[in-house]
């Protein structure tokens, strides 16, 4: 049985922008859909793969997806 563990870090930056860091290799609809619409930015590792549907859901919620170098 494969476990899909991920670290989620939520923060509030200087401009009161709520952000979250998803530390998974693959980001799917199941990762994005439960997130609050209050979140403005989602940070992913630069090698993460986000499915097209997950990207679409994030955009519908008004979220910006940012890739970060490790």
For residue 21, the SS3 value is: strand
Residue ranges per domain, the chain?
Answer: 8-68
Measured between alpha carbons, how far apart are the two ends of the chain, in Å? Answer: 28
For residue 25, the SS3 value is: coil
> pLDDT tens-digit profile of 15-63?
677 999 999 999 999 999 999 989 999 999 999 999 999 999 999 999 9
- Asked whether the predicted pLDDT for residue 7 surpasses 90, the reply is no
Phi first, then psi: give them for residue 21, nearest 5 degrees.
-115, 120
pTM of the model: 0.75
């Amino acid at each position: 049985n494969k476990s899909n563990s991920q670290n989620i870090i939520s923060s509030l930056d200087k401009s009161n922008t709520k952000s979250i860091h998803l530390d998974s290799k693959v980001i799917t609809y199941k990762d994005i859909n439960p997130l609050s619409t209050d979140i403005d930015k989602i940070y992913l590792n630069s090698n993460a793969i986000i499915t097209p549907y997950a990207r679409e859901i994030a955009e519908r919620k008004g979220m910006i997806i940012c890739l970060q170098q490790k």
